[in-house]
A = this chain, B = another copy of it.
Amino acid sequence: MDIQKITKDFKALQRQLHALNHASGILSYDAQTVAPAASDEARGETLGTISKMQYELLINDQVKDMLQTLTEQEANIDLQTFREAQELQRDYKNSTCIPKEEFVEYIILTNKATSVWRHAKNNNDFEVFRPYLEELVKTNIRFASYRDSSKPPYDVLLDDFEPGMTQLYLSEYFKQLRDELVPLVREIGQAVGPATDWLNKSFGVSKQAELSDRVMALMGVDKKRCILGQTEHPFTEGFNKWDVRITTHYHEDNLLSSLYSVIHEAGHALYELGIADELQFGRLAGGVSMGIHESQSRLYENMLGRSLPFAQSLLPMLKEGFPEVFASISSYQLYQALNAAKPSLIRVEADELTYSMHIMVRFELEKALFDGSLLVKDLPGAWRELYQSYLGVEVPDDRRGVLQDIHWSGGSFGYFPSYSVGSAYAAQIYDKMAEDIDVEGSLRNGNFAPINGWLKQAIHRHGGMLKPEALLVSATGKPFDVSHYTGYLTSKYKELYNF
C-alpha cells in the first residue's frame, strides 16, 4: 500500500468534485440572477448530468477502499487529509445508505410536496398538505434508520445539519432559553416600544444599493473577491475564498430589511473569504456546519450590527444617503429602532429577541413528530398553543402559522435549531472576542480590521477542519454554554426597555 500515491489520488478526486460543485454552483447562481426564464429545463438536464458525474466519481469501490484506508491511517497521514477523508466518508455513507429507488421516489415526493405546500399556504389549507407531510415524516424516519438505526431518528437528522447535536442536548438548551427569555418576551409584548414610525418612508433602490456598497466596505468585505447581486431571496454562495457571492432583495418600503440582510449575508461571506488557502478546493473548504455559519452571519447582523457603536458608524452614511429621513435622528434613536422587539407571527420577520422563540416552537414540534408523540393532523393546533404560550400571540390562520415555512415541504427536518444555536454560538464567541480586543471601540471607529482579524484567526480559517464543538472550544476556551446568549439578550433588552 503506497499511502503517498493514495493521498495524491485522493487530492485529485477532491479537485474534481470541487470543479463540478463550482460549476453547478455558478449555474445555480446564474439561474437566480440573470438567466432567461425559459432556460430552467435545459439547465436541469445539465445539473442532472453533473450530479450523476459527481455520484459516479465518489461512489465506487475504488473510492470506498481509498476512504477506508485513509481513515484507518490517522497516524500516518496529515490531519487535514484525515479530516477530508472522514468527511467524504460521511458523504459516501449518506449517499449509499438509502436504496436508490427509494431515494428517487423521495425526490419526487419532495418536489410534489413543495408545490402542494405553496398552494396550501396561498389557500390557507393545511388539509391538502397534511398527507404529504405525513409521508415526509414517515420517510425521514425510515431513512434515518438506514443511516444509523442505533439513534433516535431525530438525532440522525439533527446531526446532519449540526454534527454532534442531539435532541437531549437541545431540550436542555431550549429549556434554559424558555426559562430565561419567555418572561422577558411576554413583558415586552405588553410594553410600549421606541418610536419607529419615522422609518416608514420610501427608499429608492439605487440609493439602497449605494448604501449596501458602503456598508460592505465598512465591514471590510473585499470587493475583489465578493460581489453583491439581487435575487428574490437573499443568500450567500461561496465557491472558494476568491469568489463569494451574496445577494439581497431591495424593498422600497423597508430600508432595514435589505440593509440587515446584506450585513447578515456579508457575515456568511466573511467566513468563506477567511478560510485558509491550504483547504481550498478540498472537502473542508467551506463552513463546518449550518450552526457555525449562522453564528457568523448573526454575529455581524446582531451582536455587532445592532450595537450602539455600530449605529454610530452607520448613521453618517444614512444621513448622507437619506437626509430627509435621518437628518434629525440620533445614534441612540437609530439603535433603538434597530432593536425594536415585538412578539409576532412570522419567523423571518422576527426581531433578535423573539427569534429563538419561533425556533423553539419548531424544535418541540419536530421532536414530537419524530418520537411519535404528535400526529401531523394535530400539528396546527399544537402550533397555535405554543405560539400563545411562548410569544403570547394568537395565530389567526395556518398561512401565518404552521404553513409559513418552506423547510418541511422539502424534507428538511432538524434544520431550524441550527438558526438558534448559531445565535447562541455567536454570543459566546463575541464574549471571548471582547476579552481579547476592543470590539466596541473598533465599531465606533468604523474599523472592522481587528474584529475580522480575530474571527478569521479563531473561526474562519479553520473551515471544516474542526468539528463545531471542538471549534467553539478552540475559539473560546470552553464548551458551548447558552448563558452567554441569554445573558446578552437579557441585559440588552432590559436596558433598551428600562425594565
Interface residues of A (CB under 8 A from B): 15-16, 18-20, 22-24, 26-27, 29-30, 33-39, 41-43, 45-46, 49-50, 53, 222-227, 229, 239-244, 280-281
Contact = CB atoms under 8 A, between A and B. Distances in A.
Contact of A39 (B24, B50, B243): B243
Contacts of A34: 33-34, 227, 229
A38 B239 CA distance: 12
A394 B35 CA distance: 46
Contacts of A242: 36, 38-39, 41-42
B39 A18 contact: no
Contacts of A46: 18-19, 22-23
Given A27-B26, A30-B30, A242-B41, A16 B49 contact: yes
A44 to B, nearest CB: 11
Contact of A37 (B224, B239, B241): B224
A225 B49 contact: no
9 contacts: A15-B45, A22-B27, A22-B42, A23-B46, A23-B50, A35-B227, A38-B222, A38-B225, A39-B239
Contact of A23 (B27, B33, B38, B239): B27
Nearest to A38: B224
Contacts of A244: 36
Contacts of A49: 15-16, 18-19
A345 to B, nearest CB: 37
Contacts of A43: 22, 243
Nearest to A43: B243
Contacts of A29: 30
A242 B37 CA distance: 9
Nearest to A23: B23
Contacts of A15: 45, 49
A297 to B, nearest CB: 19
A19 B50 contact: yes
Contact of A36 (B26, B36, B41, B226): B226
A36 B224 contact: yes
Contact of A24 (B23, B38, B226, B239): B23
A63 to B, nearest CB: 16
B225 A39 contact: yes
A31 to B, nearest CB: 9
B42 A240 contact: yes
Contact of A243 (B42, B229, B280): B42
A45 B281 contact: yes
Given A18-B46, A19-B46, A50-B23, A36 B243 contact: yes
Nearest to A280: B42
Contacts of A24: 23
A37 B226 CA distance: 9
A19 to B, nearest CB: 4
A26 to B, nearest CB: 5
A432 to B, nearest CB: 31
A24 B224 CA distance: 21
Nearest to A40: B242
A443 B445 CA distance: 63
A269 B148 CA distance: 52
Contacts of A33: 34
B45 A19 contact: yes
Contacts of A223: 36-37
A35 to B, nearest CB: 6
Given A20-B23, A20-B50, A36-B227, 18 more contacts: A15-B45, A16-B49, A18-B46, A23-B24, A30-B30, A34-B227, A36-B223, A36-B224, A36-B226, A36-B244, A38-B225, A38-B243, A39-B240, A39-B243, A42-B239, A42-B241, A42-B281, A53-B53
A280 B43 CA distance: 12
A372 to B, nearest CB: 43
Contacts of A22: 27, 42-43, 46
Contacts of A18: 46, 49
Contacts of A27: 22-23, 26
A41 B243 CA distance: 10
A4 B22 CA distance: 35
Nearest to A24: B23
A227 B33 CA distance: 12
A34 B18 CA distance: 21
- Please name the 7 residue pairs, one residue from A and one from B, whose CB atoms are nearest each other, closest first: A19-B49, A39-B243, A23-B23, A38-B224, A19-B46, A22-B46, A37-B224
A278 to B, nearest CB: 14
Nearest to A243: B39
A318 to B, nearest CB: 26
